[in-house]
Structure 1
Amino acid sequence: MEVHILAYEWTDTNKHWLIEVPIRIAAYIVIALVARYILHRMIDRAANRSRRTRGTPDQDSVNKPPLLRHLRDKAPLSVAGMKAAERRRQRAQTIGSVLKSTVSIVMLIWVLLSVLNVVGVNIAPFIASAGIVGLAIGFGAQNLVRDFVTGVFMLLEDQYGVGDNVDLGEAVGEVESVGLRVTTVRDIDGTLWYVRNGEITRVGNMSQDYAVARVELPVALTADITQAETVAVEAAEETLEDPELAAKVLGKPEMLGVQDVSRDLLTLRMTIKTRPNAQWSVQRRLRRDILRAFDENGIELPIRPPRVYAVPDE
């Protein structure tokens, strides 16, 4: 009788380990792979598919991917044009890549814990150990974690993008690439700066929404200020009749008046609202034409007295 009972128990154990356990493990793996595939497809569609709407040509060409539809966006369609479309595409792809990696990691951890539970291993110590290991890794790689978290929030808030002119403190120039850990900026001298996202404490973006061209005009102390202001405004308005320059401007020139007075000269300030990244070219063109108009209308420009150097006695 005892021999028959042992044979029955041995057969039942074989059924459990050779049939039930492999089937359950295979089922968990298949479920994880299918869920991962479906979620990755959903993320790809949300990151890459654009919704076509009826409107102006600019609106049709720069529609936002569904992944970014409810996120904050600082690049208006009327200002950014096709650059906004490229910026949104890169932003959506980067966020999509992060979401896909997160899904893969979660699915892998779930499968491992499920397999251990199926084979009869107590997973409670593993969960506790994972928490301790994660805490240790967080302390050891806190700079890396800070860079990553800052990069994620920077993308979600759309603080800057590729092609923007930014001031990140030590690095000032045009953004060439935006990553989750590092942002690269090319300055006016051609130097490429690699800036860790976690070290960026402030961002000055000169390419969002609009810019302001600020024109400083030096005038002699003896000049007629009222005439100088009138000539400057008329010269600026005449310059803006150029279609190429007018396309960069969003408003009319505004004369603010005397900005500074020194011993040798006084400075007039004029401002005009422009499209992003167009303020510098507008400034240079207005300075040239206004100074030429000053010369034609007899507006005196400051002339610094020559320096006198003492000659030592021989």
Structure 2
Amino acid sequence: MLLSGSFILLQMFLTYIIYVLMRASASKLIQTGFAKIQLRKNVSPGRALTLESLIRNTTNYVLAFLLIVTLLQLVGIKTTAILAGAGVAGLAVGFGAQGLVSDVVTGFFLLLEKQLDVGDYVTIGTFSGVVEQLGLKTTIIRGMDGTLHYLPNRQITSLSNHSRGNMRALVDISIDSSADLDLMTELIEDACREVSANNEESIIEGPNVLGVQEFDSSNMVIRVLAKTVNGKQGEIERQIRVAIKRGMARQPSMNIEH
């Protein structure tokens, strides 16, 4: 016997409230659990955020499925037959959902192999940006101009992660070939020492003058190299150029190209 319409609506409303509470509770438990794991197991913040986001999304899908099944049962629809036919229906849908399967498989291996984490700066195809969310179906990165890019995982055929390990700050200085090389090298070394002293937390090694990188009848190129912590290489390169430029400005006889 079917229940009255008003009672069914009340039960549906209560079921939805329980769903919302369970979803909020699960999210809080996941967040708290990963905070403890990160503290005890020395897990990187990016890795913890990645797994936390994935588990939260999966939990939401499961709870949403249970909500739908419960609501169907409340209105008198037998879900056992629907679930029994899910295998046959899933096979039929599978032929039309190969892209989705490919997304999930690719996303699984991205997570398994730890190719990227939330917060990493990456290049995927023609898009570069910071990973904001990594799921089994979609990877979301935010470009440097603020644009949010949604990339199906199956489209990630190649990936460059710029946030793993130390980075390299490289500066090439082109000067007139008639300039005094010894004086020029000493000037650049003084500039490098200045930059190193002002950036002890950002520089791992150097900056060092490697020497003449290129030479022709009119110009020679002197290369400077430093190892920096991740994300600081661009800033260090700019500081090296400024310091060298200031030093050169005190030597008017030196013709500086760049």
Correspondence for 1:204 among 152, 160, 185: 160
Pick the aligned partner of 2:55 from 93, 96, 99.
Answer: 96
| 1:92-241 alignment, distance < 5 Å | 92-97=51-56, 100=59, 130-179=86-135, 180-187=137-144, 189-241=145-197
- Return closer, same or farther for 1:256/1:196 CA change in 2, 3 Å cut-off: farther
Counterpart residue identity of residue 284, structure 1: R
In 2, Cα distance between equivalents of 1:219 and 1:301: 6
Give 1 or 2 for the bigger CA radius of gyration: 1
Structure 2 residue identity aligned to 1:146: S
Q: Distance in 1 between matches of 2:117 and 2:164?
A: 10
Distance 2:94 2:218 in 1: 60
Identical counterparts, % of pairs: 28
- Measure, in 2, the Cα distance between the counterparts of 1:64 and 1:250: 26
Give 1:150 deviation, angstroms: 2.2
Give the alignment's Cα RMSD to 1 decimal.
Answer: 4.0
- Give the TM-score taking structure 1 as reference length: 0.58
Whether contact under 8 Å (2:120, 2:162) holds in the other structure is yes
Contact 2:121 2:128 in 1 (8 A): yes
Residue pair 1:48, 1:89 contacting (<8 A) in 2 also: no
Cα distance, 1:186 vs structure 2: 1.2
Q: CA offset at residue 298 of structure 1?
A: 5.4
Structure 1 gap segments, 5+ residues each:
1-36, 52-62, 76-83, 109-120, 305-314
Quote the Cα distance in structure 1 between the aligned partners of 2:143 and 2:200.
28
Alpha-carbon distance, 1:249 to partner: 1.4
- Is 1:273 aligned to residue 230 of structure 2? no
Distance 1:268 1:103 in 2: 60
Q: Normalising by structure 2, report the TM-score.
A: 0.68
Residues 99 and 223 of structure 1: is their aligned pair in 2 closer, same or farther, counting only changes over 3 Å?
A: same
SS at match of 2:117: coil
Per residue, is there more strand in 1 or in 2?
A: 2
2 CA distance for matches of 1:176 and 1:45?
21
C-alpha distance in structure 1 between counterparts of 2:92 and 2:217, whole Å:
64
The within-5 A match list for 1:9-88 is 48-49=32-33, 50-51=35-36, 64=38, 75=44, 84=45, 87-88=46-47
Deviations 1:5-38 (A, max 9, x none): xxxxxxxxxxxxxxxxxxxxxxxxxxxxxxxx9x
